[in-house]
Amino acid sequence: MRRLAAGILMFFSAVLIAANAYSAERWATLPAFQPMPTAKTSGMAPVNDIKMYYAEYGEGEPMLFIHGGLGSADVWGYQVAEFAKDHLVIVADSRGHGRSTRSEQPFGYDLMTSDYVALLDYLKLDKVTLVGWSDGGIIGIDMAMKNPEKLTRVIAQAANVTTDGVKADVMTNKTFSGYIDAAGETYKKLSPTPNEYDAFVTQISAMWGSQPAWTADDLGKIKVPVTLTIGDHDEAIKLDHTEMMAKQIPGSKLVILKDASHFAMLQDPEGYNAMIRDAIAGK
């Protein structure tokens, strides 16, 4: 009996150790996207020189979720399901991404920000809480500087304000490389130009080579409430860069997401959603 009890104890100890190891390494995984709920409305908005895909869910105070580079609105399945319970949630595909079209006009964050401002005007929305991931977070910060009247607050995850905020070895990271490959497959399924992924990547990479390039003075003029958040294992953005941003944006709050990476909204949706709830509540 003692031998059996000892064996059972060893078994459960091994299970616990394995579970803890898995939890500690979730930041190295790239979970599948959660399926999006059924949209209340969706369409293609005529925005600047493109057609921009958008979808709306739920009712209440409006929230706009903006995805990262090479991605699409479909990354936000967990968040849409949660926040559509008590908010009007808007998602969209940035220019050239997902279902949206692109033009020959060079990519730039100011241009992409103006796309989203035009989308809000098209949807007759005065102000939104903007949740942005990566490029989406950069667009949120840009909008806070250029169009603060459109914003209740900004929650920016894994954003940078200068190009040296990006880690030099990001493209060799296995998880990040997996995301790029997955984004290419999704592009083929969603894009109106499914065979032009390489051309699209070349076009947007020209922007990434020189933008953003904001100064401390630029950031110091932001008056909109800003929450900056980053995973403690982010593959792309330097933690000290995010800390610098928090010091330069007046009144901003810094939240570090535990055991999460650039893809925190997929790796820890409950924690990610709780972070957004706290930011909305001003915690």
Q: Where are the domains of the chain?
A: 39-281
Q: Which fold has domain 39-281?
A: Rossmann fold (3.40.50)
What is the average pLDDT value for the chain, to the nearest integer? 93
- Strand order of the β-sheet with 61-66 is 41-47, 50-57, 87-92, 61-66, 128-133, 151-157, 226-231, 253-257
Q: Which of 167, 169, 189 is nearest to 238 (CA)?
A: 167
- pLDDT tens, the chain, 283 aa long: 445 444 433 433 333 333 444 444 999 999 999 999 999 999 999 999 999 999 999 999 999 999 999 999 999 999 999 999 999 999 999 999 999 999 999 999 999 999 999 999 999 999 999 999 999 999 999 999 999 999 999 999 999 999 999 999 999 999 999 999 999 999 999 999 999 999 999 999 999 999 999 999 999 999 999 999 999 999 999 999 999 999 999 999 999 999 999 999 999 999 999 999 999 999 8
Q: How do residues 8-57 score in pLDDT, each as one tens digit? A: 334 333 333 334 444 449 999 999 999 999 999 999 999 999 999 999 99
